[in-house]
């Protein structure tokens, strides 16, 4: 069931509006993600070992097993491993068309390795060939009919096409299963386990598109108290840890749609007024400052698909401006008459509130208009009714302050610019770091 709610009004006597959600004003904060003074100068890499998959921590079964029942949520990753014998008489070994492998999977991603090599073309050779499928599943749906019965992983069929016999179904032969990655088993994501392997230093240019690669770097905590985030736009899909704490999974899925002309006229449709077309659905990943030490913070990344770690950066979420708008005498004026009482009552006058982030103050008033302004934050415009001293009044009351309150009333803006018209105060202010003034000692002659 979908409910579409428009503006809501309260009419105590069924005639007079005393509260209208369309006229409730709140502050809008303008933010930017800006570079910090903390760099990630030296990256080291380690390639996930796929050569020794069939060790003592494996299990075997006939047929394909459901992934979550095998991994028990201990890992996002499950290896499906089998072998196939190829006769030396196969035509593709003598210049014929290369065979193809089709895999039906309900996981979120899959990597195919043939004889230890990541497969593009299916490069089989005469004799026994090992096929290893790495299935990646990031959770399960939690809505829908009987969602608790839905399955994930490689459920089949797995079919090899292009052989002399036509096709060979591998689904019901013996499969070996291994839960997780070798890097996970060695705790490469933690400060205690990161030294378990030999990391490779040097340029990341040759590593930029290599899947199943671990990256690590050390960084110092940035100055200030702004919220921090990792800009992961240059990466593909994987996981991030800082000082052994999981920052979460990332996946650079790019939004598609129609970000052209925006009009909310008519019935609601999901594609209306879309934003961010061609941009990642999530690019920045929050880094809690409480996790950081002054120096030597360990950043570990496991990249599944391939990316450019040299372009990862630590950024800060900085407030650059604030906007607010409020109507006079609304909603704090109780001036309606009930049928049982002809008495009207005046409460507090409406005040518009502006507040910059801690450590900032209002440095400039970009827009101010008391009257009938239109538009939204960043695109306010004066209307036909405008108090000429709006800008000067806001500058006088707010410049240099971390926060300020302005009464939305004619008494603060001089003569009523348009009598008998409901007026509004719209303001856009710039926030800048507060400059602490220090007094210079007097010199003696």
Fold of 58-180: Jelly Rolls (2.60.120)
Among 98-102, 131-135, 146-150, 414-418, the minimum mean pLDDT is found in 146-150
Residues 97/103/108/110 CA torsion (nearest 10 deg): -60
Rounded average pLDDT over 416-443: 82
Residue 412 has φ and ψ, to the nearest 5°, of -100, -15
Is residue 401 exposed (0-12), middle (13-18) or buried (19+ Cβ within 10 Å)? middle
What is the residue-averaged pLDDT of the chain?
A: 86
Q: Is the dihedral of CA 233, 239, 242, 248 positive or negative?
A: positive
pLDDT-above-70 percentage for the chain: 88
* Nearest Cα residue to 372 out of 387, 383, 380: 383
Q: DSSP letter at 404?
A: E
Show the tokens assigned to 155: 């459920």
pLDDT surpassing 60 at residue 348 = no
Q: Is the pLDDT of residue 68 over 80?
A: yes
User: What is the sign, positive or negative, of the torsion defined by CA atoms of 62, 79, 51, 122?
Assistant: positive
Question: What pLDDT does 334 receive?
Answer: 42
Residue 381 scores a pLDDT above 90: yes
Q: What's the pLDDT at 425? A: 94
Q: What is the mean pLDDT of residues 147-172?
A: 92
Residue 337 CA: distances (Å) to CA of 290, 329, 342, 343: 54, 16, 5, 6
pLDDT at position 135 over 90: yes
* CA–CA distance, 234 with 313 (Å, rounded to integer): 10
Residues in contact with 322: Cβ distance below 8 Å, sequence separation at least 6, in sequence order:
27, 28, 29, 30, 354, 355, 356, 362, 428, 429, 431
| CATH topology assigned to domain 9-32+319-433 | Jelly Rolls (2.60.120)
Q: What percent of the chain has pLDDT over 90?
A: 58
Comparing 44-53, 125-134, 390-399, 419-428, the range with the smallest average pLDDT is 44-53
Residue 54 binned pLDDT confidence (cut-offs 50, 70, 90): confident
Lowest mean pLDDT among 33-42, 253-262, 374-383: 253-262
Residues of the chain with CATH 2.60.120.260: 58-180
Higher pLDDT, 30 or 264: 30
Which class for 97: exposed (0-12), middle (13-18), buried (19 or more C-beta within 10 A)? exposed
- Cα distance between residue 418 and residue 407, in whole Å: 17
Task: Check whether 16 has a pLDDT greater than 50.
Answer: yes
Q: Where is average pLDDT lowest: 38-47, 103-112, 142-151?
A: 142-151
Most confident of 41-55, 170-184, 317-331, 411-425: 170-184
pTM of this prediction? 0.80
Q: What are phi and psi of 60, to 5 degrees?
A: -125, 150
Average pLDDT over residues 76-80: 95
Read off the pLDDT band of 347 (50, 70, 90).
very low
Asked whether the predicted pLDDT for residue 285 surpasses 90, the reply is yes
Least confident of 31-35, 428-432, 433-437: 433-437
**CA 335 from centre of chain:** 46
The model's pLDDT over 118-131, given as tens digits with 9 standing for 90+, comes to 888 899 999 999 99
- Mean pLDDT for 247-274 is 81
Rounded Cα distance between 92 and 282, Å, is 44
Lowest mean pLDDT among 67-71, 262-266, 282-286: 262-266
What's residue 442's pLDDT? 53
Can you tell me the distance from the alpha carbon of 62 to that of 171, in angstroms, rounded to the nearest whole number?
9
SS3 394: helix
Q: Would the pLDDT of 405 be above 90? A: yes
The confidence score (pLDDT) of residue 440 equals 55
pLDDT, position 17 = 67
The phi and psi torsions of 147 (rounded to 5 degrees) equal: -65, -20
Instruction: Tell me which of 329 and 257 has the higher pLDDT.
Output: 257
* Close Cβ partners of 203 (under 8 Å, ≥ 6 residues apart): none
pLDDT tens string 183-227: 999 999 999 999 989 999 866 545 567 889 999 999 999 998 899
DSSP string, 240-301: EEETTEEEEEEE-PBP-S--S-----SS--TTTT---TTSBS--EEEE-GGG--SS-EEEEE
pLDDT of 178 strictly over 90: yes
- 300 neighbors 243 (Cβ within 8 angstroms): no
* pLDDT of 315 over the 50 cut: yes
CATH 2.60.120.740 in the chain is located at 9-32+319-433
Strands lying side by side in the sheet with 200-201: 200-201, 44-47, 213-219, 297-303, 237-242, 245-251
Give the pLDDT mean for 11-35: 78
Question: Which pLDDT value is given to residue 167?
Answer: 93
């Amino acid at each position: 069931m979908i409910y579409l709610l428009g503006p809501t009004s309260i009419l105590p006597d069924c005639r007079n509006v005393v509260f209208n959600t369309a006229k409730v004003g709140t502050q809008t904060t303008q933010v930017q993600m800006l570079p910090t003074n903390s760099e990630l100068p030296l990256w080291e890499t380690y390639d996930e070992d796929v050569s020794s998959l069939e060790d003592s921590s494996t299990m075997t079964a006939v047929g394909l097993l459901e992934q979550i029942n095998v991994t028990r949520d201990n890992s996002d990753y499950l290896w499906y491993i089998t072998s196939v014998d190829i006769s030396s008489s196969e035509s593709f070994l003598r210049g014929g068309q290369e065979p193809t492998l089709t895999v039906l999977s309900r996981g979120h991603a899959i990597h195919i390795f043939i004889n230890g090599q990541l497969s593009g073309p299916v490069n089989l050779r005469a004799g026994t060939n090992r096929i290893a499928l790495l299935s990646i599943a990031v959770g399960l749906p939690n809505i829908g009919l009987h969602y608790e019965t839905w399955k994930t992983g490689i459920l089949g069929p797995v079919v090899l096409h292009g052989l002399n016999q036509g096709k060979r179904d591998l689904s019901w032969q013996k499969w070996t299963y291994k839960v997780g990655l070798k890097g996970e088993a060695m705790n490469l994501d933690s400060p205690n386990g990161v030294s378990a392997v030999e990391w490779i230093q040097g340029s990341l240019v040759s590593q930029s598109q290599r899947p199943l690669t671990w990256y690590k770097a050390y960084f110092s905590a940035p100055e200030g108290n702004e919220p921090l985030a990792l800009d992961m736009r240059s990466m593909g899909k994987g996981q991030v840890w800082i000082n052994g704490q999981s920052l979460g999974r990332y996946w650079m899925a790019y939004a598609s749609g129609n970000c052209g002309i925006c009009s909310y006229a008519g019935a609601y449709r999901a594609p209306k007024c879309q934003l961010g077309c061609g941009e990642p659905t999530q690019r920045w990943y929050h880094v809690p400052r409480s996790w950081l030490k002054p120096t030597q913070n360990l950043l570990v990344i496991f990249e599944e698909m391939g990316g450019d770690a040299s372009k990862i950066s630590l950024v800060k979420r900085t407030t650059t401006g604030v906007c607010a708008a409020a109507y006079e005498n609304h909603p704090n004026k109780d001036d309606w008459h009930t049928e049982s009482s002809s008495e009207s009552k005046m409460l507090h006058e409406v005040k518009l509130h502006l507040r910059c982030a801690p450590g900032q103050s209002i440095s400039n008033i970009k827009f101010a208009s008391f009257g009938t302004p239109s538009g939204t934050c960043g695109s306010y415009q004066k209307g036909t009714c405008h108090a000429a001293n709006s800008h000067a009044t806001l500058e006088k009351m707010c410049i240099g302050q971390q926060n300020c309150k302005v009464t939305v009333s004619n008494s603060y803006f001089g003569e009523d610019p348009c009598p008998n018209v409901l007026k509004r105060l719209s303001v856009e202010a710039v926030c800048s770091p507060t400059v602490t003034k220090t007094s210079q000692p007097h010199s003696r002659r």
